[in-house]
Structure 1
Amino acid sequence: MEVLEPPSRGVMVMQSKFETYYVPALYSTVGILLALNLLGLMSGIWITLLPIAIQISIIFSVYTRKTWAYLVVRAWSAICIFSGAALWLAVLLRGGEFSHSAGYMVSQTLVLLLGVLFFKSAKAVLSERAHMDAAPSRDMHQEEI
């Protein structure tokens, strides 16, 4: 049976500093978008049930530290990247003509940039978070058989 070695101190310090900002930023972003989608649902826009389900699954998987949490975050981030890129592509194809308000364009650009950030770092942070919980502590000793 193979004994898992705990990560080195340098890796743990770097991981904890990155996790300090990544996970709260993820919760904040998803929480704000969830609130906006709930407002849309209360207005009678039933299509917002789909993003609400995805955002609830993100919060659940990251909070419970599931090993597959990074896949959910990456899928959501890919959707954010695709939607932001499609919006800017539509603007370019129209010859630079904006058909939306400036506030909407800024918010979609922010969603695009946050999607890139969360997509790039999801596996590094969230899979290590799950593995650090599963690794035995240094105080535990395995008996020789």
Structure 2
Amino acid sequence: MSTQHHSLVMAALGLLLALAAAALHRPLARRTGWPRGATAGLLVSAALLLGFTLPDQLEPGSAHRLAACLADRSVRTLQGGAAHHAANVLLWLPLGLFGTLATRRPLLVTALASAAWAAVELVQTLDPVRSCQYLDWGNNTAGVLLGALLGRQLLRRRERA
């Protein structure tokens, strides 16, 4: 699959998931008692992240790629340097922020998001273009944690006011 086609598929998947998230935020907020804006932010940020991290093509060889991932020997390491690592932190920050503002549970949000993106890293081995890397998962978790800590601080300020 060409890079352009791959990008279009990722954008379309992200858009479809974001539209579904926008449609589901009100019923979820009503059912859980979470604030609507924070619930929308949580669902839309999760949808967009899933849109550009889930595999968009499957090819033979996934068992070999999964074994390489589990042994931390990924052969398709992205060479983005510091910018790649910073993006993997910053892009996940809204998920932690909105998750904490919605649920008021920063540790639970961080733990669930970390587990979810560990699974996504493993699922990426199904796609021959994707790269399963522990460092990506660690950066994603750091971003969620930073967002959760920011959300916790915002909640504390609101409670004091």
TM-score range, shorter chain: 0.3 to 0.5
How high is the TM-score relative to the length of structure 2?
0.32
Instruction: Tell me which of the two structures has the higher relative contact order, counting C-alpha pairs closer than 8 angstroms and 6 or more residues apart.
Output: 1
